[in-house]
Amino acid sequence: VQLQASGGGLVQAGGSLRLSCAKSGGRTFNNYAMGWFRQAPGKEREFVAAISWNGDSTYYADSVKGRFTISRDNAKNTAYLQMNYLKPEDTAVYYCAADNYGVITRSSAMNINEYDYWGQGTQVTVSS
């Protein structure tokens, strides 16, 4: 399984970006739950959002709830992270990840060790 994250960039505070994560290889896309994590310089990688195989369940970190939206298009083998009202503290490298088990709970979604495959990351920089 290969995951390709894209869509990062430089944006002013209050702006928006949409990240994409395209999957290739492995089983069909709807077998996997998908997650987004981020890592700022000098900090550990942290959970951002996750979505179940069919999109029925979504989970968010408290810090992004109400501003970010995770979604997926199984026909396009792609997951998305729409980020609105961006803040400087959102600056980080954003990683997408796939979980072999498509059904997730909030606890499993937030667990970095739950995920089996990782993309290469895309840089998001929010200026004040």
pLDDT in tens, 32-73: 999 999 999 999 999 999 999 999 999 999 999 999 999 999
Spatial separation of the C-alpha atoms in residues 45 and 119, rounded to whole Å: 13
Across residues 115-125, what is the average pLDDT? 97
Split at pLDDT 50, 70, 90, the class of 103 is confident
